Amino acid sequence: MDQNRSGNGGGGDEQTEGSSGAGDQNEELGQDDPRNISHQDEEHSAAARGAEVELSPEERNEVKSAAPHGGEIEDTPEWPAEESEQDEARGEDGEGDSGERQRESSSRVSVSEEAAPRPEPPSGVSDDEYKWHTYKVYPSGRPDAVEFIDLYKSFGRADILRGLNMGLPEGMVSMIIGPSGTGKSVCIKHMVGLLYPDKGDCLVHGQSVPNMPDDDLFDMRKKFGLLFQDGALFGSMNLFDNVAFPLRQHTEMGEDEVEDVVMRRLNEVGLGSALTKMPNELSGGMRKRAGFARALVLEPDIVLFDEPDSGLDPVRTALLGELILEIHRDMMDEAKEKQKEHLPTFCVITHDIMSARRVADYINVLWKGRIVEAGPAEDMLNSENPFIRQFLSGESQGPLTMD
């Protein structure tokens, strides 16, 4: 992600006047409308998961150590002292390793010291309020599958995204973390064109979502699998039909083929024997896994998880994290085997610091509508920035308070 990128101002008006977001819009669109992606929503609460998807410690280490580590940063910027705030925020961008998740973490690159000027705070806001924002971006070594460029979004007088620059590198499991109400779910809605920016742009595989004609937008949405924060399975359909729904809706597949795909996905998430159960017969964790299976049936390039762990106990949360990693790894293998144009990109929104530590290849920390710092998990977990340190360790002492 390039700190210097500038927006094309290509935003547009919100898709519906005074809209309240995905839910309302989907209600307006009706269930059969392809723009209605509410069927991909997921519901949250507690439950068990099949043990067959657990990773061994060795496998987990392999995954974690394979998380691409960006190029060596030559000159780590000082975390901003009061007097150095006008110093350049160094959004180092560089070419790191070539992007193989499994290997190639040894490639080191030098990053030039060319520094971008520190971005101005949003208008009417003191620089002091953004003093923890170093805007530092440790290189991922990958192109971004999704990119936010100087994106602004307000609801009435509430300014939520305030010049957001953020990237989700292709082929990685990224996390967006930040305090409640900072606009994480709003980000997701911009990616799929359910909300439009007031200013700035959101690119998916290089294409501007707000500027897409409707037909392209419908096609682009097929790239995504979504598990929304407050979603649910269709209560009137059994598990099989819930997971088959996107295939029946969006493809010409015959029922035999639908069954193959659905069974493969349900087995993957450990629900192969629960096909005929209705959603209210499933535990919360099972419903999450069912939603995960449903999000995968259209072979999305990008899977978005909005707080997949909310309502789960720590053990189920850990198991779900492992499932996410395992499925990502399988999808990576498949994408390479089939020589797909894009590697699978996952984006997980979570409050759970342990999940971030276990699952993330790449972490974006969002606060006050902008990224404080972003980069490969290892770099972020070693950040010197007190805000990042506090947030990633979940400590009560530090710059972040309840205000």
Ligand X SMILES: Nc1ncnc2c1ncn2[C@@H]1O[C@H](COP(=O)(O)OP(=O)(O)OP(=O)(O)O)[C@@H](O)[C@H]1O
Q: Which residues bind ligand X (CB under 6 A)?
A: 19-21, 155, 158, 160, 180-186, 229
CB of 24 to ligand X, least distance (A): 8
Q: Which C-beta is closer to Mg ion: that of 274 or that of 324?
A: 324
28 or 281: CB nearest ligand X:
28
> By CB under 5 A, what part of segment 181-240 binds Mg ion?
184-185, 229
Q: Which two tokens stand for residue 15?
A: 């898709």
Q: How far apart are CA 74 and CA 179, in angstroms?
A: 31
Q: Torsions phi, psi of 250, nearest 5?
A: -115, -5
The token pair that represents 137 in the structure block:
């971006």
Amino acid at 347: C
Q: Find which of ligand X, Mg ion, none residue 376 binds, CB within 5 to 8 Å per kind.
A: none
Beta bridge partners of 302: 224, 345
Q: How far is the CB of 17 from ligand X (least distance, A)?
A: 11
Does residue 279 contact residue 232 with C-beta atoms inside 8 Å? yes
Nearer to Mg ion (CB atom), residue 152 or residue 228: 228
> Tokens representing 263?
């069974």
Q: Decide which of Mg ion, ligand X, none touches 181; Cβ closer than 5 to 8 Å per partner kind.
A: ligand X
Cα separation, 308 vs 42, whole angstroms: 8
Length of the chain: 403
98 binds, among ligand X, Mg ion, none (CB under 5 to 8 A by kind): none
Q: Which does 117 bind (CB under 5 to 8 A by kind): ligand X, Mg ion, none?
A: none
In three-state secondary structure terms, 342 is coil
Q: Which residues contact 279 (CB under 8 A, 6 or more apart)?
A: 43, 232, 233, 234, 235, 237, 239, 242, 287, 290
**CB of 188 vs ligand X, minimal distance in Å:** 8
Choice between 70 and 178, CB closer to Mg ion: 178
Angle between helical axes of 239-250 and 255-268 (0-180°, round to 10): 130
Shortest distance in whole angstroms from residue 306 CB to Mg ion: 6
- Min dist CB 78 to ligand X, Å, is 29
Q: Which does 155 bind (CB under 5 to 8 A by kind): Mg ion, ligand X, none?
A: ligand X
- In whole angstroms, the minimum distance from the beta carbon of 234 to ligand X comes to 23
Longest dimension (CA), the chain: 67
What residues line the site for Mg ion (CB under 5 A)?
184-185, 229
